[in-house]
Amino acid sequence: MEDLRKRGIRPCGKISGIRKHEVVIIRSHGVAPDILRKLKARNCTIIDATCPRVRRAQTYVQKLIDEGYYVVIVGEKDHPEVRGLLGYAGKHATIYKDNLKLSKKKVGMVPQTTLNQERFNGAVADLMADVIEMKIYNTICRETTMRINEATKIARKADIMIVVGGKNSANSTRLYQICRKLRRSYHIESANEVKRSWFRGIKSVGITAGASTPKRQVDDVVKKIRQMVPGRRPTPNA
């Protein structure tokens, strides 16, 4: 976000903050169709950077609605991707929560693309007994699952884990939560946050990063650790 600001691109969370005829970039999380309609009404030039996997999830939600299913979206209620998915379903959808009770007998389920697979499996099992017909589209990103698996393997071997990624990034935060259950871990956004005191008595360092973390940011962290702890080579999970 800071890099974009330096290039003169400002973030905007509300339509009211966008003027007519402006160039608007849709971020990877996507937006609800109503947002796109309003942008077009303002004659804005739209650059749609929605992740292809998120767009696929949007398509599946719309397909389920067209087929008469009530849609349950499994994910974080305040996550922008989830809000966008809800926009494709209107009043015919809800966000999953523990012990959710449904009166609907025909239910479709779609997960947030960065969701933990176990969380989705648990949600499906929880609702299965309450419905007659269930249609599932598993839109969880394989790269996200692979990243979690690799980070888990590294955390089991390393003495300490460093997770590089935005503090408001859902998948970076999830990686940190997983790693800290296995090893002492630190969630940082940049090399400036690395502290020499973390590595006292440490023989091996594991590094992982969120899907949206720029490679140069990870490289900077690796470089900083090598400078602080000569002779010890971090094991990155890119």
Q: Is 5 helix (H, G, I), strand (E, B) or coil?
A: helix
Tokens of 32: 């609800």
Answer yes or no: 81 catalytic. Answer: yes
Candidates 2, 67, 81, 133; catalytic one: 81
Sheet arrangement for strand 70-74 = 93-95, 70-74, 106-111, 133-136
Cα–Cα separations (whole angstroms), residue 169 to 32, 57, 85, 146, 172: 20, 19, 18, 17, 5
Cα–Cα separations (whole angstroms), residue 197 to 46, 176, 187, 203: 47, 19, 15, 13
Cα angle 11-15-17, degrees, rounded to a multiple of 5: 60
Handedness of CA 27, 30, 35, 41 (dihedral sign): positive
Catalogue the active-site residues: 81
